[in-house]
A = this chain, B = another copy of it.
C-alpha cells in the first residue's frame, strides 16, 4: 500500500468471562491497531460502540467457547446486530474472529464457524489464517498456530490457568492474525477507491 492509503478502522468486539479471551482480544487488537469493545456481563455494548461498528472497515469477533459455542453474552450481541442486518450497514465489511477455551478442541471450531455464519448473514468478507499448523513431533506449546486452526485463531488455556499463564504462542498467533485482517481490509479499502 502506498503512504496515501486510507486508514483502516478496525474494531475488536468480544466477550470474556474470566479474562482469557480479553487477553486474546488485546493481542488481536494490537495486531490490527483496532479499538476494543467489550460486551458486558449482561450481553450489552454502549450505543457509541454500535456507531463505531457501523463505520468500521473490519470487525473482529471474539468469545470464549462455552458449552460448544460462543457465550450467551456474545450471542445477545449477535442477536442485537439484527438491526444492522436489516439496514445492511455491515455489508461488505471485512470480518474475522477468535476464541479461547480450556480443552484442546472442545468444539472451538463451532464457535469460529458461528462467527463466520454471522458475518455471512451480514454480507461480509471473511479472512482466514495464513500460518501453517505446528504439528510435528518437536512442536512446542508456544509455537505459532500449535492449535492447527485455519479459519481463525484458537487459544487453549487449561481450566486451572490464569490469563497470565496463557500460551505466548497462542497470543502471538492472535496478534499476527489481527495484523493480517487489517492489512487485507486496507487492500480492499484502497481497491474501492482505485
B133 and A103 form a contact (CB under 8 A): yes
Least distance between A52 CB and chain B CB atoms (Å): 19
* Copies of this chain, tallied across the complex: 4
Of all chain B residues, the one with the shortest Cβ separation from A119 is B128
Most B CB contacts (10 A, CB to CB) among A75, A110, A156 go to A75
What would 18 A/B residue contacts be, using CB atoms closer than 8 Å? A67-B81, A67-B121, A68-B117, A68-B118, A69-B69, A69-B75, A72-B76, A92-B130, A103-B148, A104-B147, A105-B105, A105-B147, A119-B128, A121-B150, A123-B129, A137-B165, A187-B192, A188-B191
Given A1-B194, A125-B128, also A110-B117 (CB < 8 A) = yes
Given A85-B67, A105-B109, also A117-B72 (CB < 8 A) = no
B92 and A106 form a contact (CB under 8 A): no
Cβ contacts under 8 Å, A165 to chain B:
137
With an 8 A cutoff between CB atoms, is A160 at the interface?
A: yes
